[in-house]
Copies of this chain bind each other. A is one copy, B any other.
């Protein structure tokens, strides 16, 4: 059960409605979805819908039959749009996020940022805290990396996205980033999800390597039920037996998310395939099946990348990808303004 308040509901309205629900034994989660407050009740709570509607501040009540209540498309059939700088996730024009895997040094960061800006990406990415399989691998420049990212933002005007690895770092990283990234290894780090759920910054949540669609949406639900409605999902490849690509990018989840949820979903073809030569074709495929954007690894000198060198593309390939993307996008804008309905 989800209760959507009308647009002029205020804190007092929420408090009195919440108190009324609590007095009947319901546990209530309150979220802000852009212009609207939304209350969700713990599963299994029987409730008299008419009594709820009697409250002036209530716009409508939605019965949701999945475990993910706030992430369910029924709650917001028109889809969620999240604006960051010039980028609008979930809007009519897909967003391109690009940049190097890691911030390595000032020169590399600024060169990469210039490439990304020059060819029309709307958001700049780079990692300052790197989750590495081996304790002996380069672990990122940490806060110094965030400072360099901030300098790149000033220089290019592009908003920045970077990964946060631990609940204890959320405040610090949020001091720099415009969008916080939760990596695939942390999709089920619930303490971290709760920590970013308490912010009002956009969060990009990557699908875990062995995660079902249902689990991805429930991890999003942790953030939404904490009060942060600005969640962008990201497909980045799953683990399968198949070994010609490092991971198996599962584009099927793009239209499946569009059916199940109102949240925007973007695609990471760089980690998703782990092969530089597959980045461009899979980017175009992602856009063609309805993705709300891409996140691509671009490096000024791909072969010298300190991490994930095999999957970063250079300026020339990126420029061609941006040009080809525009054609697919222009086709999509004309043909498919409401992708959800057209899939039925």
Contacts and interface: CB of A to CB of B under 8 A. Distances in A.
Interface of A: 27, 29, 40, 42-43, 67-69, 131-136, 165-169, 185-186, 188-192, 208-210, 212-215, 218-219, 221-222, 225, 238-245, 248-256, 259, 272-273, 275, 277-278, 280-282, 284-290, 320, 324, 327-328, 331, 334-336, 339, 342-344
B244 A253 contact: yes
Task: Report the 4 A-B pairs with minimum CB-CB distance, sorted nearest first.
Answer: A210-B210, A288-B288, A285-B289, A285-B285
A255 B277 contact: yes
Contact of A213 (B185, B244, B328): B244
Contacts of A68: 134
Given A67-B134, A188-B131, A280-B342, A244 B256 contact: yes
Of A134, A186, A320, A342, the most chain B CB neighbours within 10 A belong to: A134
Q: How many copies does the complex hold?
A: 4
Given A285-B289, A327-B335, A134 B252 contact: no
Given A190-B132, A243-B212, A343 B278 contact: yes
Nearest to A320: B342
B210 A244 contact: no
Nearest to A260: B244
A281 B277 contact: no
A219 to B, nearest CB: 8
B254 A281 contact: yes
Nearest to A186: B189
A285 B272 CA distance: 15
A212 to B, nearest CB: 6
B277 A218 contact: no
Contacts of A243: 212, 243
Contacts of A131: 188, 190
Contact of A239 (B210, B280, B344): B210
Given A136-B42, A136-B67, A238-B240, A281 B287 contact: no
A240 B239 CA distance: 8
Given A132-B190, A166-B166, A281-B339, 20 more contacts: A43-B134, A131-B188, A133-B219, A135-B190, A166-B167, A168-B168, A185-B189, A212-B244, A238-B241, A240-B248, A251-B251, A252-B282, A256-B278, A280-B343, A281-B288, A287-B288, A288-B288, A324-B336, A327-B334, A328-B331
B335 A135 contact: no
15 contacts: A131-B188, A135-B218, A165-B190, A166-B189, A166-B191, A185-B188, A186-B189, A214-B244, A238-B248, A242-B252, A248-B250, A248-B252, A249-B251, A280-B342, A320-B342
A157 B8 CA distance: 60
Q: Among the interface residues A169, A212, A256, A289, which one has the most CB atoms of the partner chain B within 10 A?
A: A289
Given A244-B213, A256-B244, A327-B331, A251 B282 contact: yes
A268 to B, nearest CB: 13
